[in-house]
């Protein structure tokens, strides 16, 4: 039996992900808000659709990867949304990074309509999307996860079923907390070295092998030393993800003091017009703050 796949939101991340699904031999039905972004997919053999509803008419598994929580809600439950025309038993796989609590609510609404949902946010960036090496963090029922797993394997390498609906988004939020706060750690340390007149490059070398060593020290530490903030992962997107973290913490009554502070440093970068820099630019906030 051919699985007909739907794909909604073929942007910078979504386009290569959809192409990798097609390389896996699946027939693809696609929709994008701006029709011109569909072209690379239709050229590769996908069928362009005029709405999310139309995608849902043809597909058994429908992937969505859009910007933010309200976009996912619109694409699923809106006037021209997936839910309206989806066939019973269809699976909606949301690969956007959005609110874990909203995700849980969406999956409950869909269940009442006889539809399944997985949340499956990714990390690994555009490079990971192109090379099909994304990390995929999945929330939802085990049997639904097992059904969609071969499709995930067309797009990623490290595919982990975290738990129930929303748990994938929780893991992604945790990822963004750790990345942001570790960038802050490296930024403060390298600025401390500079201000003390010690060579931050030598300090980084000395620290890399021990307990202070991390992927962030390696990659983002290097960006800080080279003063090269070409993304990577943009401040504007990291700020959005941290807003989701802080909203969720607010809803849960959970204090996350370091995450909250780093969110302020991302806000500061938005204020200085640095939205399109890599989030390693947090080091600029630390330096500016003390007139360095």
Known catalytic residues are: 172
Nearer to its own copies, 55 or 277 (CB): 277
Under the binding rule (CB under 8 A), the answer on residue 19 touching its own copies is: no
CA distance 130 to 11: 12
User: How far does Cα 123 stand from its chain's mean position?
Assistant: 6
Under the binding rule (CB under 8 A), the answer on residue 142 touching its own copies is: no
Residue of 223, 220, 221, 219 lying closest to 203 (CA atoms): 221
From the list 135, 141, 222, 240, which residue makes contact with its own copies (rule: CB under 8 A)?
Answer: 135
What minimum distance in Å lies between the beta carbon of 17 and its own copies?
A: 17
Tell me the CA end-to-end span of the chain in Å, nearest whole number: 63
Residue of 255, 220, 212 lying closest to 238 (CA atoms): 220
Under the binding rule (CB under 8 A), the answer on residue 271 touching its own copies is: no
Nearer to its own copies, 38 or 185 (CB): 185
Size of the site for its own copies (CB under 8 A): 71
Cβ–Cβ under 8 Å, residues 47 and 58? yes
What minimum distance in Å lies between the beta carbon of 136 and its own copies?
A: 9
From the list 192, 226, 230, 271, which residue makes contact with its own copies (rule: CB under 8 A)?
Answer: 192
Across 194-210, b (16+ Cβ under 10 Å) vs e yields: beeeeebeebbeebeee
Parallel, antiparallel, or unpaired for β 27-31 and 4-8? Answer: parallel
Under the binding rule (CB under 8 A), the answer on residue 215 touching its own copies is: yes
* Part in contact with its own copies (CB under 8 A); list of ranges 15-23, 36-44, 56-64, 190-198: 190-198
Nearer to its own copies, 53 or 123 (CB): 123
What value, to the nearest 5°, has the Cα angle with vertex 24 and ends 29 and 121?
70
Residue of 136, 91, 81 lying closest to 114 (CA atoms): 91
Under the binding rule (CB under 8 A), the answer on residue 81 touching its own copies is: no
Under the binding rule (CB under 8 A), the answer on residue 252 touching its own copies is: yes
* Part in contact with its own copies (CB under 8 A); list of ranges 38-46, 53-61, 111-119, 186-194: 186-194
Cβ–Cβ under 8 Å, residues 65 and 9? yes
Under the binding rule (CB under 8 A), the answer on residue 239 touching its own copies is: no
Under the binding rule (CB under 8 A), the answer on residue 124 touching its own copies is: yes
From the list 17, 93, 179, 268, which residue makes contact with its own copies (rule: CB under 8 A)?
Answer: 179
CA distance 266 to 272: 10
């Amino acid at each position: 039996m051919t699985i007909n796949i739907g794909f909604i939101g073929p942007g910078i991340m979504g386009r290569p992900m959809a192409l990798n699904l097609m390389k896996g031999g699946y027939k693809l039905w696609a929709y994008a808000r701006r029709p011109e972004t569909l072209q690379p997919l239709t050229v590769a053999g996908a069928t362009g659709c005029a709405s999310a509803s139309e995608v849902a008419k043809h597909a058994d598994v429908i992937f969505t990867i859009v910007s933010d929580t309200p976009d996912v809600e619109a694409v699923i439950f809106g006037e021209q949304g997936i839910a309206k025309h989806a066939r019973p038993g269809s699976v909606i796989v949301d690969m956007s990074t959005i609110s874990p609590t909203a995700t849980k609510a969406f999956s409950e609404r869909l269940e009442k309509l006889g539809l399944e949902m997985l949340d499956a946010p990714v990390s690994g960036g555009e490079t990971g999307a192109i090379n099909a090496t994304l990390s995929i963090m999945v929330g939802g029922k085990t049997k639904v996860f097992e059904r969609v797993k071969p499709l995930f394997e067309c797009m990623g390498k490290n595919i982990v079923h975290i738990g129930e609906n929303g748990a994938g988004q929780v893991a992604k939020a945790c990822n963004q907390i750790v990345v942001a706060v570790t960038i802050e750690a490296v930024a403060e340390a390298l600025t401390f070295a500079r201000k003390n007149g010690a060579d931050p490059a030598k300090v980084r070398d000395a620290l890399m092998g021990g307990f202070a060593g991390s992927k962030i020290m390696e990659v983002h530490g290097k960006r800080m030393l080279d003063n090269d903030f070409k993304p990577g992962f943009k401040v504007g997107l990291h700020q959005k993800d941290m807003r989701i973290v802080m909203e969720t913490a607010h809803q849960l009554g959970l204090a996350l003091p370091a995450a909250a502070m780093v969110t302020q440093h991302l806000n500061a970068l938005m204020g200085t017009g640095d939205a399109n820099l890599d989030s390693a630019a947090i080091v600029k906030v630390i330096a500016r703050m003390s007139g360095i």
